[in-house]
Structure 1
Amino acid sequence: MNIREDILADVSASFSETYFEAREKLLDRAGSVSSYESPARGPADERLFTDVAWFGDPDAQHVGVLISGTHGVEGYCGSAGQIDWIRGGGPASLLPGQAMLMVHALNPYGFAWDRRVTQEGCDLNRNFIDFSKPIPHNQGYDELAEHLVPQELEGPTFEASETAIAKFREERGELAFQTARKSGQYRHSDGVFFGGFGPSHSRVTLERIAEEFDLKSRGLVVIADAHTGLGPFGYGELQTEQCSGVSGYERALAMFGRSVTSPDLGTSTSVLVNGSIDEFWERLLGGRHVYVALEFGTFDPENGRRVLREDHWLAKNPGTDASTASAIRRRIREHYDPRSPDWREMVLWRSRQVHRQMFEG
């Protein structure tokens, strides 16, 4: 079998078509697993879980953390990388003093329903602010809220919303628009990129995992959090976050090389965001952690804007006819999980490189 046939076989073995298939693959291969049940239920009233597996030295001072499903529907990619690591002999490659902690389906509701948000309607990667302090105010989002998720998806109301958005972009500039839309907002619970009114269940689950596996006592924790939807098709960008600052970027740069990007330097495809998951790791570990979001590109950003708009509109209109609802679900799934062999092959190659660099570093 040649190399291409090998990796395509690995693609088939590692990727899944549903959350439930992905979970079964993990449980079959991971051995001992700690399962954290969600209060949410699946499309057919199934139970949903975040599953956690520890590989290697239980007292390890150097711990890698692989996270899938922070953004629900993006979990197909991250789950495949996790399963491929196990199948490829990752556990046997760990040295004394090293361990890997695998967090599968951090947001199982979004994964099972092919939505980006949690059951609270929350963007988990905007939910890690300190809610005891003043909440970030997103004035730009407030101005556009009724237009970003309009009452209708066609007709005069929809066209008026698109006109208002075009005017905002022309007058304020593209960066201001993307910042208003994506940086996180904490007022409009049925809107896009809503960071929540308080800690979500998935956030509390991650906090429990970190406590129960005693991550705060470790010498170095390296986190790779898999995402999809930004950047060139199939390319895995290693994004750092502003909350870890330039020092966090430099730690990642030393470990992963010059493909690492930073919002502080303007090299990231992501805008600055509030409440990212790295805020949790920064509070917990400070300079004893390295965090990267492994972001795999898919399609045009305007397609991403459309599928999220439709997804949130559908959540506000649960009586929508089944054929329309199904079409909306298919489009958001395809944007965040392109089910083509070339994309999936690129995901596995890059994931393997990043996982290797985590421990070489």
Structure 2
Amino acid sequence: MNEDIIDAAKSHFASDYFEARQKFRDYLGEARVGEPAVYPSSARGPRGEELSTDVAWFGDPRASNVGVMISATHGVEGYCGSAAQLDWLAARGYESLKSDEAVLLIHALNPYGFAWDRRVTEEGCDLNRNFIDFRSPLPLNEGYDQLADSIVPRDLDGPIVEAADAAIERFRAAHGEAAYRKARTSGQYRHPTGMFFGGLGPTVARQTLEQITSDYSLGSRRFVMIVDYHTGLGPYGYGELQCEQPSGMSGYERARDIFGPSVTSPELGTSSAVALNGTQDDYWQRILGDRHVYVCLEFGTYPPEAGRPGLRADHWLYAYGQTEIQSDLGFEIRRRVRQHFFPDRLDWKEMVLWRSRQVHRQMLDALRL
């Protein structure tokens, strides 16, 4: 047994957003490394606490080659990404950077979602569907339109939810599982309280990323490699390296050259995710083109069917049960969502850190090519 990784798994994962942020800040302060910056959020935590996205730059300020590690794009999934970032710091990964290399850590890109144990932003948006060009016509999702009232019904039990489940099953039977997954998860832009809502304009979290990109001149670098940590899809504890469609097959091939054949692509049908609208890679592709590699490092938790009732309840709570948000029912719903996206088990944590260390090593090796 590797005692080092067991100790790390016990110490680097936090119990909530606030502990995760403090661990991140404490390491930077005590080790006196990196160049930290704080991007305050207009949102507030469950008890009115101030929230922020915290950032740290390591290495040559004028580096041509930059690695970027992003946690909590989908807020509640930040437990995983925050621990992986802290593990890289504790291993002093920054000490191996050469003169033309740098790493940027973006901790809690969606601090609202992390603090409230929700996937969405304070606007109710799925941030990884929000990076479309809002000057163009919004993507259509007729399947979601058909199922909207069934995916997030007005009640959590009784005849209404029974009718909703029956409607979903009829859709699955008529169109197939792939069509249902696409309708439900690919992104929709008409139902603000629904699941996987991409928004009607740029969210605060998106604007934060755009500001960070500008402040650190990422668009002018020769090569930028982004690792964006997520959880919830795939086998328990396995870290799948997913490419997105905006980079096309050339982006997939660049990622495969760096990380190996385990890289997956929705275009090839090898990814556990379907093709999505408005992903973060849409943004990186627009500003960097073939000067970037983006991978979503997706760690499996429990089967998607097990997580759907919790997500449905979360969206119901904010659409129809707002008076219950701070009640025992609201706390229980948040607990269920968190449990699905963050298995608080030592074996899962160990698997996350092992794979993250491998990906970090590969990323740093690629910055030197």
TM-score (norm 1): 0.98
Correspondent of 1:56 among 39, 56, 59: 59
1:258 counterpart = 2:292: no
Counterpart for residue 148 of structure 1: 151
CA distance in 2, matches of 1:170, 1:356: 45
Q: Give the superposition deviation at 1:254.
A: 0.2
Counterpart for residue 5 of structure 1: 3
Counterpart for residue 14 of structure 2: 16
| Mapping for residues 115-130 of structure 1, pairs under 5 Å | 115-130=118-133
| Mapping for residues 82-93 of structure 1, pairs under 5 Å | 82-93=85-96
SS at match of 1:261: coil
| 1:63-90 Cα deviation digits (max 9, x unpaired) | 0000000000000000000000000011
Correspondent of 2:49 among 42, 46, 49: 46
SS at match of 1:258: coil
Correspondent of 2:331 among 313, 323, 326: 326
1:344 counterpart = 2:342: no
Counterpart for residue 131 of structure 1: 134
| Mapping for residues 176-195 of structure 1, pairs under 5 Å | 176-195=179-198
**Long gaps (5+) in structure 1:** none
Counterpart for residue 81 of structure 1: 84
CA distance in 2, matches of 1:326, 1:199: 29
CA distance in 2, matches of 1:96, 1:28: 26
SS at match of 2:322: coil
CA distance in 1, matches of 2:328, 2:92: 43
| 1:133-171 Cα deviation digits (max 9, x unpaired) | 011010000000000001111111100000000000010
| 1:211-256 Cα deviation digits (max 9, x unpaired) | 1100111111000000000000000000000010000000000000
1:303 counterpart = 2:320: no
CA distance in 1, matches of 2:307, 2:206: 24
Give the letter for the 1:299 counterpart.
Y
CA distance in 2, matches of 1:239, 1:264: 11
SS at match of 2:271: coil
SS at match of 1:271: coil
Correspondent of 2:226 among 218, 223, 228: 223
Counterpart for residue 37 of structure 1: 40
SS at match of 1:346: helix
**Long gaps (5+) in structure 2:** none
Give the letter for the 1:278 counterpart.
D
| Mapping for residues 276-287 of structure 1, pairs under 5 Å | 276-287=279-290
SS at match of 1:40: strand
Counterpart for residue 250 of structure 2: 247
CA distance in 1, matches of 2:64, 2:301: 36
Give the letter for the 1:353 counterpart.
Q
Q: Give the superposition deviation at 1:322.
A: 2.1
CA distance in 2, matches of 1:4, 1:157: 51
SS at match of 2:94: helix
Q: Give the superposition deviation at 1:305.
A: 1.5
CA distance in 2, matches of 1:323, 1:79: 27
Q: Give the superposition deviation at 1:98.
A: 0.9
Cα RMSD for the two superposed structures: 0.9
SS at match of 2:266: coil
Counterpart for residue 357 of structure 1: 362
CA distance in 1, matches of 2:99, 2:164: 58
Counterpart for residue 113 of structure 2: 110
**How many positions carry a matched residue from both structures?**
359
CA distance in 2, matches of 1:58, 1:276: 28
Give the letter for the 1:21 counterpart.
E
TM-score (norm 2): 0.96
Counterpart for residue 97 of structure 1: 100
CA distance in 1, matches of 2:42, 2:122: 9
| 1:84-120 Cα deviation digits (max 9, x unpaired) | 0000011101122111000000000000000000000
SS at match of 1:352: helix
Identity score, percent: 59
SS at match of 2:302: coil
Q: Give the superposition deviation at 1:4.
A: 2.7
Q: Give the superposition deviation at 1:307.
A: 1.3
SS at match of 1:274: coil
